Chains A and B, each alone.
Chain A
Amino acid sequence: MTIRNKAYIVGAYEHPTRKAPDKSTAQLHAECARGALADAGLTKADVDGYFCAGDAPGMGPLSMVEYMNLKVRHVDATDIGGSSYLMLVSHAAQAIAAGKCSVALITLAGRPRSEPPRAGNPYQPDAAWEQPYGIATLNSYAMCAMRHMHEYGTTSEQLAWIKVAASHHAQHNPHAMLREVVTVEEVLASPMVADPLHRMDCCVVSDGGGALVVVSPEIARSLKRPLVAVRGAGEAVKDTNGGRVDLTYSAARVSGPIAFAEAGVTPADIQYASIYDSFTITVLMQIEDLGFCEKGAGGKFVADGNLISGVGKLPFNTDGGGLCNNHPANRGGITKVIEAVRQLRHEAHPAVQVPNCSLALAHGTGGLLGTRHGGATLILERQ
């Protein structure tokens, strides 16, 4: 069974807030749900499937289905960190194809700026071997960058180009946290936070959220929105492999080819890419692993504005991405899908809209790149 053309994204909503001290997390989820349903032209009563991940408060679907008073016949709360929401689009498509639901609602929201997230679970089996050392998101990704530089000669200047490209896009997004265009020199002059990553190699921390509505082909055709089909999807988990550690690649190496095979397209066919950008190194490794260039050539690929819309070959994260726009709940997966949908609907900002965009990729990396993470790839098509 394939999910190709079995489901369509008809609703997409990114919450405009970037700091929400006066809201609850459940409330943000519901505001996002309301926004995505309105975008689709559907109502709460139409929803018969609900999908969420680890950012949902309480017991995930139990708490949120009750809060929103949904009447659903299918739920899924698989958590692979920030990449969950790309995977949940795929799971929603699978459920729709199997007849388990026909209108799937996916929500993400969180308030890490207003309220620091709770500490990890001490019963997770890796905890004793990592937490005493002060492992954090930042230094985990930094060690990947350090090894990538060692093996492939990747430079800080090349990584900086990724931030520069994101900033060029963010200047056109009134909701972006960081709208100022920056230069390679400015990125390199920002403080070293964890060698070899500078402050500007890191994404923003933001409150906020987003939601998606995925429906059956019949319902999609009954609505007024452009048809954005889920053409292919892949998911994978990458970890420390029993101590045979290789920090130079990501789960995209597995999830990407699965998605491309299902979609029947190649990286050269992709007109726009949303690439998870928790850090600049995340983008570079995913671009290689998804096959946009040879392994190890990511540094050369991203340099000289190659990711800037209208300038380079692979326009990416035209909303400004996690690096400049938004990284709600410390999980950027849903905003990756939302901007891909905007591009395919030709509703991105005119300054960054890819002309005649009809085939887009969105990829997420969730968890820690340098320990264990999930990867999820979506290939979306305007029909």
Chain B
Amino acid sequence: MSETKTRKIPAPAITAETEAFWKGAAEGRFQLRRCTQCHETHWYPRAICPFCMGDTAWEDASGEGTIYSWTVMRRAPEPYAMAYVTLDAGPTMLADLVDVDLDGIAIGQRVKLVWSQSAGGPPVPSFTSA
């Protein structure tokens, strides 16, 4: 089994709009924004709902989902996997896949959220096999 080696993850650019997400991340809490008007969740997190322009609020989410699409970047010093994951909570989000067999990834595979430490910043969401 070929495992993803440690790839240096640059710290995410944090804004006032998303600061609470990264504080939660440091505590291991995964949060989504849900609209207070249309009650839809979305990704990436925004203060203004991308579906109805209503105000949105943070809520805790489980981080379980299925792989919508994926690729392994083999043209890199250390190959790494990336996927769009459709969360059970609704939206589809981009993240890397960690601790997976790079030759055994498939669309439809169940995955769960884990946190990966960034360089000098908060942990960022990643996914691994459920």
Query: For residue A194, which residues in chain B have a CB less than 8 angstroms away from its CB?
Result: 71-75
In Å, the complex CA distance between A237 and B91 comes to 20
Q: A128-B14, A143-B84 are in contact. Are A134 and B71 (CB under 8 A)?
A: no
**Residue contact B80 to A147, C-beta cutoff 8 Å:** no
The answer to whether the Cβ of A360 comes within 8 Å of any Cβ in the partner chain is: no
Interface membership of chain A positions 145-169, coded 1 if the CB is closer than 8 angstroms to chain B and 0 otherwise: 0110010000000000000000000
The answer to whether the Cβ of B82 comes within 8 Å of any Cβ in the partner chain is: yes
Query: For residue B71, which residues in chain A have a CB less than 8 angstroms away from its CB?
Result: 139, 142-143, 146, 194-197
Instruction: Report the nearest B residue to A196, measured CB to CB.
Output: B71
**Residue contact A129 to B44, C-beta cutoff 8 Å:** yes
CB distance from B21 to the nearest CB of A (A): 9
CB distance from A243 to the nearest CB of B (A): 3
The answer to whether the Cβ of A98 comes within 8 Å of any Cβ in the partner chain is: no
Of residues 126 through 149 on chain A, the ones whose CB sits less than 8 Å from some CB of chain B are 126-136, 138-139, 142-144, 146-147
The answer to whether the Cβ of B1 comes within 8 Å of any Cβ in the partner chain is: no
Q: A125-B44, A129-B94, A134-B76 are in contact. Are A245 and B12 (CB under 8 A)?
A: no
The answer to whether the Cβ of A310 comes within 8 Å of any Cβ in the partner chain is: no
Interface centre among A196, A244, A247 (most CB of B within 10 A): A244
Out of A191, A243, A247, A370, which one reaches B93, CB within 8 Å?
A: A243
The answer to whether the Cβ of B130 comes within 8 Å of any Cβ in the partner chain is: no
**Residue contact B80 to A195, C-beta cutoff 8 Å:** no
Query: For residue A135, which residues in chain B have a CB less than 8 angstroms away from its CB?
Result: 82, 94
Query: For residue A219, which residues in chain B have a CB less than 8 angstroms away from its CB?
Result: none
Of residues 207 through 247 on chain A, the ones whose CB sits less than 8 Å from some CB of chain B are 240-245, 247
Out of A122, A150, A244, which one reaches B92, CB within 8 Å?
A: A244
Query: For residue A241, which residues in chain B have a CB less than 8 angstroms away from its CB?
Result: 50
Query: For residue B73, which residues in chain A have a CB less than 8 angstroms away from its CB?
Result: 134, 136, 138-139, 142, 193-194
**Residue contact B92 to A245, C-beta cutoff 8 Å:** yes
The answer to whether the Cβ of A59 comes within 8 Å of any Cβ in the partner chain is: no
**Residue contact B80 to A242, C-beta cutoff 8 Å:** no
The answer to whether the Cβ of B69 comes within 8 Å of any Cβ in the partner chain is: yes
In Å, the complex CA distance between A191 and B17 comes to 42
Instruction: Report the nearest B residue to A248, measured CB to CB.
Output: B69
The answer to whether the Cβ of A192 comes within 8 Å of any Cβ in the partner chain is: yes
In Å, the complex CA distance between A240 and B15 comes to 20
- Footprint of B on A, CB under 8 Å? 122-123, 125-136, 138-139, 142-144, 146-147, 150, 191-197, 199, 240-245, 247, 370-371
- Footprint of A on B, CB under 8 Å? 7, 9-15, 17-18, 40-44, 46, 50-51, 68-76, 80, 82-84, 86, 90-96, 107, 118, 124
Q: Which 9 A-B pairs have the closest CB atoms?
A: A243-B91, A243-B43, A242-B50, A128-B12, A142-B71, A122-B13, A245-B92, A147-B69, A129-B44
Identify 10 new A-B residue pairs, CB closer than 8 A, beyond the known A128-B12, A150-B69: A122-B13, A129-B94, A130-B94, A131-B10, A131-B12, A133-B95, A135-B94, A139-B82, A243-B43, A243-B44
